[in-house]
A and B are shown apart, each in its own frame.
Chain A
Amino acid sequence: MNDLYAWAAIALITLAATTGDVLLAYSMKRVGDVGELWKTHGVAAVVGRILTTPTFFLGVLAMAVAFYSLLFGLSWGNLSLVVPASASLTFVANAVAARIFLHERVGRRRWLAALLVAAGVILMAL
């Protein structure tokens, strides 16, 4: 039963973290290259642009949900299961979500990278 709770928490962490990453990436693409913006318009313009992007706050909210799900997941399951499982699933889920929602070009190279990192994270937790 505890296992079921742990995997439910892992699923929730993965979903929330992926949602957060996609929303933050989308927001920052709308803001534009902050290095260029800083050079041309100053730091106040960068902060203002980010703070007037609603999806940025949704992304931060999703990240907060992921963080608190992690805390609850840790109280139900083992550290050595919850952290690597959710981290490696998030790498793979992000590759899928970035392709679908951000229309990023996820070719063989990036798929391989995501899978290698996900596998490596699991091995490092063993």
Chain B
Amino acid sequence: MFHSRLLAAEGCQLAAVTFRKYLILAGIVVFSTLGDSLLARGMKELGAVSLHDFSGLLFAVVNPWVGFGVLLLLAFFASYMSALSWADLTYVLPATSLSYVLVALIGRIGFHEEIAPIRWLGIALIAAGVGFVAAGPSITPIRHRQPHSENTGPDLGLPSAVSQEVKP
């Protein structure tokens, strides 16, 4: 099954996170944030959509904000699928959680919303989580993909065969 395919992929340095791949991760963050913001703005212009009358949703894409928002969310989905094709789910999800931070910063800069100290702490925690996962390996090499093996791993900056082989 997919184990044999991954075995083949490992031979061609799949694990290296190149500049292009960082661009795709950044794309996930930017496309999802901007897409959501444009969609929210467009839907506010359109007003409430009744759950009993979905026809209103069909015409929603005619609104330029909504239409552009949907396009950006499609771009988000494409970059998300691309990232999942070469990185672990447990790498992609934390690495792209900066979108929560970007939403807050857009609110701060674009709409002059105040950011309370507790939210700055939240931003710091998310940024720390992103830094932690981004500094580690992006994909589990196939020979370590054994079910039920203990995975405490060579993490937290300790050099090891595994973390070295997956670096670019």
Binding site for B on A (CB under 8 A): 21-22, 24-26, 28-36, 50, 91, 94-95, 98-99, 102-110, 112-117, 119-126
Contacts and interface: CB of A to CB of B under 8 A. Distances in A.
A89 to B, nearest CB: 13
Interface of B: 1-2, 5-6, 9, 12, 14, 20-21, 80-82, 84-86, 88-94, 97, 100, 104, 116, 118-119, 121-130, 132-133, 135-137, 140, 144-147, 151-156, 162
* Interface SS majority for chain A: helix
A98 B118 CA distance: 30
Contact of B122 (A24, A95, A108, A120): A120
Given A102-B89, A114-B94, A124-B122, A107 B132 contact: no
Nearest to B80: A24
B133 to A, nearest CB: 4
Given A50-B81, A105-B153, A121-B122, 16 more contacts: A21-B93, A24-B81, A28-B82, A32-B9, A34-B85, A35-B85, A36-B12, A36-B14, A98-B88, A103-B145, A114-B129, A120-B121, A122-B122, A124-B100, A124-B123, A126-B122
